[in-house]
Amino acid sequence: MKPSDIEKGLSADRLREVLRYEPETGKFFWLKGNNQKKAGDEAGWAETKTRYIRITIFGQRYLAHRLAWLYVTGEWPHDRIDHKNMGRPDNRWENLRQASDSQNSANQKTSKKNMLGIKGVRLHECGRYTARICVGRKSMYLGLFYTPDDARDAYAKKAREIFGEFARTK
């Protein structure tokens, strides 16, 4: 659980008093209105930069995917919440799962900085291709290969071995 969640002090019961969560759509709705919103209005907004949905409750801002976890399970998540399909605004229950930092990172697209467009693969100065995978904060060397396809296959195999269902190889 993130310390910020503990400090904010929102419980599942308190959350359920003010919001209704629809697991099928991933949306939250206000149960009570005030001068800024009506009962039944959809809660939250998408941040422009990150596209995560945020909801302000009792003057505190929360990430909607973490609120969804609290709402359904009754407990704050212990670590990260991963969006299986990488769609940050998609907070449907079936799309959310708890994840470590490593697992969350494993479920990311190939970096835009990657010149080859192949996750975990770089062109080596000798003209061959290296494959590396990050586990935690450590980079693991997987080998030097003659073709980018061989390097990609080595990365994909190791990613599935280490990260299982969290492995994204493209």
pLDDT at 5: 54
Strand partners, 55: 62
Give the integer Cα–Cα distance in Å for 156 and 170.
Answer: 9
pLDDT means per 10 residues, the chain with 170 residues, are 61 95 98 86 94 94 96 94 94 95 82 86 94 88 95 92 84
Residue 38, token pair as written in the block: 């009506």
Does pTM surpass 0.85?
no
Cα–Cα distance between 165 and 13 in angstroms, integer? 32
Q: What domains are there in the chain, each with its CATH number?
A: 3-99 (3.90.75.20), 103-166 (3.30.730.10)
Q: Cα(111)–Cα(11) distance, rounded to whole angstroms?
A: 37
Residue 73 has phi, psi (to 5 degrees) of: -90, -20
* Residue at token pair 């190791």: 158
